A and B are shown apart, each in its own frame.
Chain A
Amino acid sequence: MNIDDLKNTWNNQSTIDTSIDINQPLLATIEVNQQMRKLESMKWRRIVESVVFFMIIVALWQYIVDDFTMSAPVISACILNVFAIIGLAGNIGQIALISKVDYAAPVKTLQQNMFEICSHNLQITRLVLLSVPFYMTYMFLGFDVLFSVDLYQFLSDEMVMFYAVSSAAMLAGTVWFVSKLSYKNITTPWVKWTVAHIVGEPLLEMAEFLNNAETA
């Protein structure tokens, strides 16, 4: 017995004729289903997040324009603005991606799109992690906004060097860490664990599927 012997049996399963009964009058009332409802709610969340990012960008831009000098707080505002713009662009990309989900597309294409859509929290985590080496920007900006103090002026050369070196080390570490958080590395146990904890089991299944699809 082999797989080819079973093709006939497969195609002549006797229950198929009576297998499915469609409630035709109900068809017209169907406007959305479970998966589409989930996608629609994701789209609205992305829209709300986009508005928040946009407001942050406007506020930071306003701050930069109001006192445009080469001071530490203004440079910090510029750096944080770059992260906010990346966040906004990512959200707009997500909204576009959700709008073009096509269930008649090839399976791998749809799964890749769904992975990108569902991995939004992972992307946000990446963005936050990448901003960690720039933690001093929050300090400089915060001190200036709250106390009108340019903290940088009070730092000794040694402190500046310490912060510069620690930020550079953290940047190297976070870039490496973030680059590993991809479905291509899902077989690595710590990547699998991290992805599962940040975004949950369904995304892990998708990542494993995509990884599997790329290897013969």
Chain B
Amino acid sequence: MSSDKETHFAQLMKQHKGIIYKVVNSYCQHQDDRQDLAQEILTTMWLAFDKYDSEFKFSTWMYRIALNVAISYYRKDSRREDKANNDGDLLLDMAELSQEDNSAEIKQLYYFISQLDKLNKAIMILYLESEPYDSIASSLGISKTNVATRIGRIKEKLTHQFQEKAS
């Protein structure tokens, strides 16, 4: 029974692993931090898995947890702490933001996201996932108007940055 749960969880994680990858790369600059944050997100999801409410899309539930953990993550005191397990093995191995992946566009996009504050990072990620404004507002607990205003500003800033790069 318990192994069924692990298998089911692992399968869902495989289907949606892009969520962890994207959130972690958006919130952390260094590979050690990325690895640490990814472990923390995965363990939080695993520990909360029994309470997953199937009324929500699984990806929405994952995004909420991933963003909550990423926003609460404080590098200064978490860097030196133990990993999520005791024996030194890693629960999760995360690839580096690879050279081959990434088109200049993606690199530039991650660079741009890294310059945003924590809330705007979350908005940007959900927007890039084509989440509607009311779903973004509900996941973040802020008003739809607030989301729309922020997306407008982010778009402006991004356009400006791309224009600067191009010139």
Contact = CB atoms under 8 A, between A and B. Distances in A.
A101 B153 CA distance: 32
Contacts of B40: 33-35
Given A21-B93, A30-B91, A103-B48, A11 B129 contact: yes
Interface stretch (A86-94, A108-116, A139-147, A177-185): A108-116
Contacts, number: 191
Interface in A31-56: 31-36
Classify the secondary structure of B's interface with A: helix
A107 interface: yes
Contact-residue size bin, chain B (C-beta under 8 Å from the other chain):
35 or more
Interface string A7-18: 101110111101
B139 A106 contact: yes
B68 A105 contact: yes
Classify the secondary structure of A's interface with B: helix
Given A23-B93, A104-B64, A114 B72 contact: yes
Contact-residue size bin, chain A (C-beta under 8 Å from the other chain):
35 or more
A27 B72 contact: no
Interface of A: 1-3, 6-7, 9-11, 13-16, 18-24, 26-36, 102-111, 114, 201-202, 205-206, 209, 212-214, 216
A2 B84 CA distance: 39
Contacts of A21: 92-94
A107 B67 CA distance: 7
